[in-house]
Amino acid sequence: MTATLFNYTYSPTTGRSSSPAPLPLRRVVIVGGGTAGWMTALILARSLLDRGVEITLLESPSVPIIGVGEGSTPWLRGFFDGLGIEEAEWMPACHATYKCGITFDGWSTKPGFERYFHPFASMLDNLTMTQFVHNVEARINGANVHAHPDRFFIATRLAAARRAPKPRESFPFDVWHGYHFDAMLLGQFLHGKAVERGVRYKSCHVTHATLGADGAIASVGTQEGETITADLFVDCTGFAGLLIDKALKTPFVSFANNLFNDAAVAIPSPIDGPIPAETVSTAFKHGWAWKIPLTSRYGNGYVYSTQFCSPDAAETELRESLGFLESDVQARHLKMRIGRVTKHWNKNCLAVGLSQGFIEPLEATALLFIQQTAAVFVQFVEKGDFGEDAHDRFNRQVNDHFEGTRDYIVTHYKTNTREDTEYWRANAANLNLSDGLKKLYSLWMAGKSIAPGVRQQAIGKGYPVFSWYSIMAGMGIFPDPQDLRPPTPREARYSMDEIDNLLERSSVNYPDHREALHSIAPRRTDAALQLYFWM
């Protein structure tokens, strides 16, 4: 086993490509002004505006954006850096905080494994990654060694101590981190930036698309009476899927058999005292609840399955957990369509965001799909790669990412050991698993390394190897304690004290989270909670 299980390190992206490839595009129309619309506009603008391509974003004045989606993966950092937008500019504007990873609380009932942290791992973690994987593999094979992931990663330490993952200047190691942010404010911020950079904006409600003889979209018509043409139409209309679904009738692959959750209810709450640098995901009776810290409030929500729980019961359970049973703070109820379209790029239409598909928000991956779909599309455009074969390669790549991510999310449910409700029992008993996932579980149960399998299969297109070790170990998928034996000297070769010391010494180089945010965060305003319900 190598020490470089995790080999991503962070370096800002270099900016737009200078290749002067001829572009078969003169005019791009993006329909939809949610996070997907504006992120896509900025990514396309960075590459295409200077080459004379006109980009216009149309947004309905009557259809609000979804307004949730407050956690990210570390890849969002690349999005802002690639656009040359500093944290000091966007984070205060969006009430953003740093995120070291996610705590999963109450998903497993196995003693000692009731809670674990899925960290964003960095190069720094290669100092302890070998030890983690070694111990995990020894424990799967019956050795009584420490194998809970929480003792092995710097990001876990930082989150536990409520430190920011931003080292003091004297410390040379960068730590991967994501963000939490207010989705409404992020949308407004990105809107401002895109318009400032030359994206045109039009408030209008698209009523229909007209197809040409080749079946591609020739134009869209608006309620205001306009007919708008373009070479490329980007569908960012959210779950409505106005172009990719309604106009082009692109088939949709539902993940409802793998992932049961199809609804959510959200309620904000005040934040005082220290600011956590993590999302907490707590298992509830029929799903799970998120708790996301912003500088101005907590975002809370319960993601559940309507097969097992009514919206009213879900709201009551969430309110109870927040101590809000008597409170008149409004709740927002949302429906979710889980799955993906078969073709994210279909004829002259690119679907980005909820219109292309959605995997429930357990690991906060949706913005990453937006970013990657738009960025990979730009690579094809820059090469002038527009043929049928290009469509196929593009769609395969995006689909692999969806499937790999789905399998990782499914694993949270499949490995749960709760027995308190039919919801959890049905999840544990669910046999709708991909072949890759079945193979991974059988390797694990046989005490073998899962690393080569993850790397070779589509399953690895969603999450890196260390994340798979973290989830399986974090959920306590090991022999029962009474079946463990004393470790051999080789199995016991790593000292947990040394690992603790190493991580302790490293983590003092990171400042308190609130302190780190203080220099960039605005003061909390009383309007902050109201803003949440702005739409």
Ligand X SMILES: Cc1cc2nc3c(=O)[nH]c(=O)nc-3n(C[C@H](O)[C@H](O)[C@H](O)COP(=O)(O)OP(=O)(O)OC[C@H]3O[C@@H](n4cnc5c(N)ncnc54)[C@H](O)[C@@H]3O)c2cc1C
User: CB-wise, 355 or 372, nearer to ligand X?
Assistant: 355
Q: Work out how close the CB of 89 gets to ligand X at its nearest, in angstroms, rounded to a whole number.
A: 20
Number of other residues whose CB lies within 10 A of the CB of residue 285: 17
Contact between 363 and ligand X per CB under 6 A = no
Contact between 276 and ligand X per CB under 6 A = no
Beta strands in 60-205 (DSSP E): 97-99, 101-105, 115-119, 178-180, 200-203
Number of other residues whose CB lies within 10 A of the CB of residue 479: 16
Which member of 48, 55, 70, 405 binds ligand X (CB under 6 A)?
70
Contact between 301 and ligand X per CB under 6 A = yes
User: CB-wise, 37 or 436, nearer to ligand X?
Assistant: 37
Query: What DSSP assignment string belongs to 92-125?
Result: HHTT-EEE-EEEEESS--STT-SEEEEE---GGG
Number of other residues whose CB lies within 10 A of the CB of residue 328: 5
Contact between 267 and ligand X per CB under 6 A = no
Catalytic residue chosen out of the listed positions 99, 166, 347, 414: 99
Contact between 474 and ligand X per CB under 6 A = no
Q: Segment contacting ligand X (CB under 6 A): 29-37, 269-277, 410-418, 462-470?
A: 29-37
Question: Would you give the distance in Å from CA 287 to the centre of its chain?
Answer: 18
Contact between 409 and ligand X per CB under 6 A = no
Q: Work out how close the CB of 68 gets to ligand X at its nearest, in angstroms, rounded to a whole number.
A: 4
Q: Work out how close the CB of 302 gets to ligand X at its nearest, in angstroms, rounded to a whole number.
A: 9
Classify the C-alpha dihedral 159-163-164-170 as positive or negative.
negative
Q: Work out how close the CB of 316 gets to ligand X at its nearest, in angstroms, rounded to a whole number.
A: 18
Beta-carbon contacts of residue 325 (< 8 Å; ≥ 6 apart): 316, 319
And the tokens for 97?
A: 């905080």
**Size of interface with ligand X, in residues (CB under 6 A):** 38
Which member of 28, 32, 96, 199 binds ligand X (CB under 6 A)?
32
User: CB-wise, 358 or 478, nearer to ligand X?
Assistant: 358
Which member of 127, 334, 426, 520 binds ligand X (CB under 6 A)?
334
Separation between Cα atoms, residue 211 and residue 216, nearest integer Å: 5
Q: Do the bridges between strand 263-269 and strand 332-335 make them parallel or antiparallel, or are there none, so unpaired? A: antiparallel
Return the residues of window 196-255 that contact ligand X according to CB under 6 A.
Answer: 205-206, 236-238, 240, 242
Separation between Cα atoms, residue 32 and residue 145, nearest integer Å: 52
> Are 304 and 284 in contact, with CB atoms under 8 Å apart?
yes
Burial class (CB in 10 A: 0-12, 13-18, 19+), 240: middle
What are the two backbone dihedrals, phi and then psi, of residue 498, each rounded to the nearest 5 degrees?
-65, -40
User: CB-wise, 175 or 206, nearer to ligand X?
Assistant: 206
Contact between 69 and ligand X per CB under 6 A = yes
99 is catalytic: yes
Tell me which residues are annotated as active site. 99
The residues of the shown chain that bind ligand X, judged by CB under 6 A, are 31-37, 58-60, 63, 65-66, 68-72, 183, 205-206, 236-238, 240, 242, 264, 301, 303, 334, 336, 353-355, 361, 364, 366-367
